[in-house]
Amino acid sequence: MAMETGLIVHPYMRPEHTSRQTFDWCVEQAIVADQIGFDSVMYSEHSSQRWENIPAPELVIAAAARQTERIKFAPMAHILPHHNPAKLAVMIGWLSQILEGRYFLGVGAGAYPQSTYIHGIKNGEDTEFTNKMVRESLEIMEKIWKRDPFFYEGQFWNAGYPEELHGDEGDDQHMLADFSPWGGAPEIAVTGFSAKSPSMKFAGERGFRPMSIFSGLDALKTHWETYSTAAEANGHVADRSRYHVSQTVFVADTDKEAKRLVMEGPIGHCFERYLIPIWWRFGMMDGFIKDAGAHKSDVNLEWIVDNVFCVGSPDTVVEKIGTLFEASGGWGTLQVESHDYSEDPAPWFNSLELIAKEVAPRISLPTPVSV
Does residue 57 surpass a pLDDT of 70?
Answer: yes
What lies within 8 Å, CB to CB, of 72 at 6+ separation is 39, 40, 41, 102, 103, 104
Domain map (residue ranges) of the chain: 4-163+177-254+307-362
Does residue 367 surpass a pLDDT of 90?
Answer: no
User: Sign of torsion, CA 68 73 78 83?
Assistant: positive
Q: Which helix (H) or strand (E) holds 27?
A: helix 19-36
**Mean pLDDT, to the nearest integer, of 10-37?**
98
Report pLDDT for 370: 62
For 283: left if phi > 0, alpha if psi spans -120 to 50, otherwise beta; the answer is left
What fold is seen in the domain 4-163+177-254+307-362?
TIM Barrel (3.20.20)
Angle between helices 57-65 and 85-99 (to 10 degrees): 10
Q: Residue 82's CB: how many other CB atoms inside 10 A?
A: 23
Q: Residue 19's CB: how many other CB atoms inside 10 A?
A: 11
Residue 163 DSSP label:
P
Mean pLDDT score of the chain = 95
Q: How far apart are CA 4 and CA 363, in angstroms?
A: 9
Report pLDDT for 311: 98
The model's pLDDT over 334-355, given as tens digits with 9 standing for 90+, comes to 999 999 999 999 999 999 999 9
pLDDT bin (cut points 50, 70, 90) of residue 174 is confident
pLDDT bin (cut points 50, 70, 90) of residue 31 is very high
Does residue 368 surpass a pLDDT of 80?
Answer: no
Report pLDDT for 20: 98
What lies within 8 Å, CB to CB, of 41 at 6+ separation is 6, 7, 8, 9, 29, 30, 33, 64, 71, 72, 73, 74
pLDDT bin (cut points 50, 70, 90) of residue 193 is confident
Q: Residue 324's CB: how many other CB atoms inside 10 A?
A: 20
